[in-house]
Structure 1
Amino acid sequence: MTHHDDTQSTASDSPVLILGATSGIGALTVDEALDRGLRVRGFARGADAMDPREGLEPCVGDAQKPEDLLRALQGVSAVIYALGVKERPAMVWREETLFSRTTAALIDAMQATGVRRLVAVTGFGAGRSRDAMSALEKLGHNAVLGRVYDDKSRQESLIMESGLDWTIARPVILTKGARTGTARVLREPDEWRNGLISRSDVAAYLVDAVIDGLDIQRDVVLAR
């Protein structure tokens, strides 16, 4: 037991790197981690605009640049990947590659720096969870988000093949609601289903996954 406590204290002494730290789930994950006493390195192109807070180290960088990722990874205990793309009309027809490109660069940089723990947010409908969608859900999803989710599926494959201590978290439809603390982690494919979940509940799970070592080398769906 003592040994476990030692590792916990060491982990909390090293910052957690949060990619996409200034918006959406990433920004809420920064808040959640700081509220729980973790040190956070908040990585984003606009990180210099983050409000100064105890335990927060803003880290300006572009997740597509290997040199920025290598710098950001120095001395961290874990990485939370929470990059998103802004919804825009071109999503419907333009190929998306941001998720797979940044994830490939991140995996290389993690392997080079010896950081092993990666918790990545994708979404319900990516990778293996696509099979859990109804025909109607697939139709609507493909029409609007098909290209984005094709890339999230490529991203998931890269993560699963990386050999890292990864967790893939797929939230269902996101809301702006408050943290409820009652979100469910659906671990078995036959439980996977669509629904709603607040971004704050997703952030809480991501921090839980880092602190408690949850769901290593597992892909889960997060729903209310």
Structure 2
Amino acid sequence: MKITIIGGSKGTGAQLARLARDAGHEVTALSRSGSAPDGVRAVAGNAADPAAAAAAVAGADAVVVTVGGAKGVAQHRAAVTRTVIDAMQETGVRRLVVQSSLGAGDSASQLPGPLRLIMRTVLAKPLADHNEQERAVQGSGLDWTLVRPTGLTNREPAGTWRALETSDAGKLGGSISRGDLAACIFGLLSDDASVGKALGLSS
């Protein structure tokens, strides 16, 4: 499989790139720094630039967006995601997995009460960005999946996680390691049953 990761120079994106590379897939990572793990094709560019996004996604079988916010840029995640969606539509790439955040969209109900209050106040601006990002994904007409992790950590991966839709019983809280998030995303890329779903994730 040819996989393009938007934001693959560090964090979850870099861990995903390593997993996919080690499994024998052809991986391209687009980032502003132009850095990527060894064995991964690195492309330097601003993913909000249509030309850079189109060059990175052309020929891919799947695209993953793992970008964070950018200092001084309002709703950076949403802008990048919209540009990537346009590029995918233009180049005929269908499969899209996007990293959002628990609390975005309709997922506040999956959070315990105290954590829900913190998310609404302390993280109001990032969540607004994720809300716009999710609306773009859900209206894209692509084969999309949203992943909504709880707090991310750099702990060693546990190899297990909980993945719940908002219609499922139970709450999600605490955190999830970036390694486990990357492993979950990697599995979703070939999981047709996840198309059109938004999954809350925690350890």
TM-score (norm 2): 0.92
The structure 1 residue matched to 2:133, chosen from 147, 155, 174, is 155
Separation of aligned partners in 2, 1:152 and 1:196 = 18
- Please give the secondary structure, in 2, of the residue aligned with 1:211: coil
User: Quick check: 2:12–2:181 contact (8 Å CA) kept in 1?
Assistant: yes
Structure 1 residues 104-124: Cα deviation after superposition (integer angstroms, max 9, x where no partner) = 111111111110100000111
Letter aligned with residue 193 of structure 1: L
RMSD over aligned CA atoms reads: 1.8
Cα deviation, residue 59, structure 1: 1.2
- Equivalent positions of 1:187-198 (< 5 A) are 187-189=165-167, 190-198=169-177
Letter aligned with residue 183 of structure 1: W
Cα deviation, residue 180, structure 1: 1.6
The structure 2 residue matched to 1:209, chosen from 185, 188, 203, is 188
Separation of aligned partners in 1, 2:186 and 2:154 = 18
Q: Provide closer, same or farther for how the CA distance between residues 52 and 135 of structure 1 changes in structure 2, counting only shifts above 3 A.
A: closer
Q: Provide closer, same or farther for how the CA distance between residues 32 and 201 of structure 1 changes in structure 2, counting only shifts above 3 A.
A: same
Report what 1:33 is aligned to. Answer: 20
- Equivalent positions of 1:81-160 (< 5 A) are 81-85=65-69, 96-160=74-138
Q: Provide closer, same or farther for how the CA distance between residues 68 and 196 of structure 1 changes in structure 2, counting only shifts above 3 A.
A: same
Unaligned runs of 5+ in 1: 1-11, 89-93
Report what 1:17 is aligned to. Answer: 4
User: Quick check: 2:99–2:148 contact (8 Å CA) kept in 1?
Assistant: yes
- Please give the secondary structure, in 1, of the residue aligned with 2:69: coil
The structure 2 residue matched to 1:64, chosen from 24, 43, 48, is 48
User: Quick check: 2:150–2:176 contact (8 Å CA) kept in 1?
Assistant: yes
Unaligned runs of 5+ in 2: none
Separation of aligned partners in 2, 1:132 and 1:57 = 37
Report what 2:143 is aligned to. Answer: 165
Separation of aligned partners in 2, 1:95 and 1:106 = 17
The structure 2 residue matched to 1:50, chosen from 26, 36, 39, is 36
- Please give the secondary structure, in 1, of the residue aligned with 2:194: coil
Separation of aligned partners in 1, 2:11 and 2:190 = 21
User: Quick check: 1:64–1:101 contact (8 Å CA) kept in 2?
Assistant: yes
Report what 1:91 is aligned to. Answer: none
Cα deviation, residue 214, structure 1: 4.6
Larger helix percent:
1
User: Quick check: 1:129–1:192 contact (8 Å CA) kept in 2?
Assistant: no
Q: Provide closer, same or farther for how the CA distance between residues 95 and 16 of structure 1 changes in structure 2, counting only shifts above 3 A.
A: closer
Q: Which one has the largest radius of gyration?
A: 1
- Please give the secondary structure, in 1, of the residue aligned with 2:137: helix
Say yes or no: does 1:80 pair with 2:67.
no
